[in-house]
Structure formats: C-alpha cells, structure tokens
Amino acid sequence: MGWGNRRIHEAAAVCAAQFPAIGLIWWIRDQLGDDYENAGATGALAVFGLLCPLVVAPLVLPVLGLLHAAVQVLPAQVLAHRAARRARGPVWAWHLALTTVLGVAWAALALLLWDWPFTTTAPLLAALGVLPVLGLGWLRRRTGGLRAVWLPALFASVGLFLLVLLGGVLAPVTGIVDEYEPPALSAGQLTGVWRDEKGAVLRLGTDGRAELTDLPTEAEPGSVDPYAESPFDVCDGTGTWLLDGKGGHDPYANGPEGRPGVVVRPAGGCGQETYWRIGGTESEPELFVPFGDPDAPDLRILKQAP
C-alpha cells in the first residue's frame, strides 16, 4: 500500500492533534511536582510559559505531526496491510500492534544513542501511536478535500486540550492528585555521589565526611554580589555533612522548621555552610539551593549518581 497525498495528510493531522494535550500534560506534571519553593517562578510566569508554545503551535504542529507519521504511524500501516494478508486478522488491529512495536523500537534506539530511560520512553512512544491509528480509522470513512482532514483534527485537538486542562484543574481539588511532598530520605539513602549538569560533584560519606569538586557554596557575607551571574563560591576539597530532617538549619524557612535538607560545611576556608534542600522523588532524589537574588535565583540542582 502506497502513501497517497491524502493518506499522508490524514496521518500528519491525527498525529499533530494529540501534541497540544501531551504538552499540557507535561506542563501540569511539572506544576504538580516540586516547585523548589517557588524559586523565582510566579503564577504569571508559569501561565506565560504555557501560552508561548500555543502562539507558535499552528506553525510547529503540522511539522511534528508529519514527522511522527513518517517514522511511526505510516510505516506501521504498510506493515499492517502485509501482515493482514499473510496472517489474516483486521488491519486496524495489526496497525495498532505494529505502531506500538515501532514505538518500543525507537525507545531502544534512544537508549543506545542518548541514554534515555527505556522504562519511561518505551511506554510513552508506544502510546503516541494509539490515538493516530484510531483517528485514521475514523477519517478513512470521510470524504472531501484537505479541509475534511484538518478541520476534524483541529476540533479534536482543542477538545483533548480542554479535557486535559479540566482534569488538571480538578485533580488537586478533588484529591485525586496529592500535593507535592519532598521525599523522606535517611542518612544512608543520602550517602553517595551527587552531580549537577555543570560538573559540580558532592560526595557524601557514611562517616559524615564530604568531598567537594567545583561545588557551589554560600559565599562569605559581602564577598560576592548577590545579583552577580554566579552569586556563590565554587569550592574543591573536603568538609563535613549532616542530615537535617526538620529543616532547622534552613535559612529560607519562615519559622523554626523548614524543608528537610543536608548541611554541608566546607573545610579549608572556601565558602560557608550551605543548606542543600531535599527535593525530587524517592526514586529520583535531588538536592538544591537557590543562590542569589530571591526573585531570580541561580538554582543549582544535584542529582544522585546511580
């Protein structure tokens, strides 16, 4: 079966229709997750960050839809027709199964090339093919020009977007989704190597000793401009650390208790005691500090090395 002009438009349209809702799901997930105690972010900025992609969506979505169709949905359709002729069975069922297989194959390639987590990427890429396959089955029964292809996709895209938006608003209100709570980590769970994307390394030993490599730390009062590009000292060497489960050392807390974290005290005269708050999740914990200007901090995040 060849890829006719109409079939290519249909595949691109149904693939593009789901991307606004997927983007909204991703955005809602970030909003419901750790906000790092509103580190420089406000509600207005968050909404602005959502609206910006919607402005350029009419230009970007058709391209994304065509790309997705070309690498997953349309090849699976060709294979589905061949499989149905040889092994029998409905074409749509073969199409759905083979689209899922191709999604898993692309996830395996992403694991090899970019080290993307397979257990997360494979279900996501496999699921991306479900709605396009079902949408193609519905469009196949319609007649007309390209308007009859893209207009239903547009209405479906808006409907999906509004449905996800309603769910995102109602989920926290109804208690379906709990408010974010930082993970309760023990000293043993914190022990190990922590790194950030800029090369900083913090090694927390079982004996309360710490090793620092290019690690940002609180600077001596008055020694660094808090509004500078790097409002902290960068330290190498050793030090000590301790777990503060109640946040009593948290300098950002409004009361006697703050967010649980790790107190790191560098030795050798470089930097000051620095309070790394605990964030992330139980499976993917983080340590973070918002340095500098509270309204626009330099947020540094350490993630535990496997």
pLDDT in tens, 45-61: 455 555 666 666 777 88
Number of Cα atoms under 13 Å in the Cβ half of residue 179: 3
> Can you give the pLDDT at residue 138?
79
Write down how long the chain is: 306
17-34 pLDDT, tens digit per residue, is 898 888 777 777 766 667
Cα distance between residue 288 and residue 301, in whole Å: 4
Q: Over 80: is that where the pLDDT of 191 sits? A: yes
DSSP label of 179: P
> Can you give the pLDDT at residue 182?
84
Q: Over 90: is that where the pLDDT of 112 sits? A: yes
Q: What is the largest CA-CA distance in the chain?
A: 77
How many beta carbons lie within 10 A of that of residue 206, not counting itself? 10
SS3 218: strand
> Can you give the pLDDT at residue 38?
59
pTM of the shown model: 0.61
Sign of CA dihedral 165, 170, 176, 178: positive
DSSP label of 272: B
Q: Over 70: is that where the pLDDT of 229 sits? A: no
Sign of CA dihedral 35, 41, 43, 47: negative
> Can you give the pLDDT at residue 43?
47
Q: Is the distance from CB of 68 to CB of 131 less than 8 angstroms?
A: no
- What confidence category does residue 41 fall into, taking pLDDT thresholds of 50, 70 and 90? very low
**Average pLDDT, integer, range 247-259:** 78
265-292 pLDDT, tens digit per residue, is 999 888 889 999 999 888 889 999 988 7
Angle formed by the axes of helices 147-174 and 5-32, to 10°? Answer: 20
CA torsion, ordered 220, 253, 242, 227, to nearest 10 deg: -30
SS3 25: helix
Cα radius of gyration rounded to whole Å, the chain: 25
Alpha helix segments (H runs only) across 33-117:
43-68, 74-87, 91-114
Q: Is the distance from CB of 74 to CB of 89 less than 8 angstroms?
A: no
> Torsion-angle region of residue 40: left (phi > 0), alpha (psi -120 to 50) or beta?
left
Strand stretches in the chain, DSSP E: 192-195, 201-204, 209-217, 233-244, 261-266, 274-280, 285-291, 298-304
Cα distance between residue 123 and residue 116, in whole Å: 13
Q: Return the H-helix or E-strand segment holding 168.
A: helix 147-174
